[in-house]
Amino acid sequence: MSTGRRPGGPSSPGCAAPCPTASPTSCPSYHVVTKRTAGAFTRTDLEAYLRAHGVTQVVIVGVATSMGVESTARQAHELGFNVALPLDAMTDLDAELHAVTTTKLFPRLGETGTTAEVLALLEPRVP
């Protein structure tokens, strides 16, 4: 898992590509978190890093909806972060668990929608 910061705009000096799509090793403004448990906040510096940078909103995606994504979303919610969950950017080997998690649990933990909807909310507003 990596958290990308975009200081000064969509690209950072030294990035091979815009930070949201760059490899963590090609963008010096990325902070890499090595996750060893289901949740990304357990035994990592993720919370401290996010708080130190004034982050209040997290967008959570992944390949194990009912495990890693759910655990991380629960932890983020309990830690007081605003949680966004783009449902089309996650999957699970168990379709039934995926469906229950995305329709019953995630709306209680944060805002759900599509990737396009989340990205549109992140775009800067022009007066």
Tokens 């495990």 found at: 67
How high is the pLDDT of residue 123?
75
Domains recognised in the chain with CATH numbers:
55-122 (3.40.50.850)
Q: Kindly report the number of other CB atoms within 10 A of residue 83's CB atom.
A: 20
Q: What is the pLDDT of residues 100-110, one digit of tens each?
A: 999 999 999 99
Of the listed ranges 2-11, 38-47, 96-105, 117-126, the least confidently predicted one is 2-11
pLDDT band at 26 (very low <50, low <70, confident <90, very high): low
Residue type at 102?
A: T
Rounded distance between C-alpha atoms, residue 74 and residue 63, angstroms: 16
Q: Which H or E element spans position 57?
A: strand 57-59
Residues 6+ apart with CB under 8 A from 25: none
pTM of the entire structure?
0.77
Of the listed ranges 14-23, 52-61, 85-94, the least confidently predicted one is 14-23
- Between these two residues, 84 and 4, which has the higher pLDDT value? 84
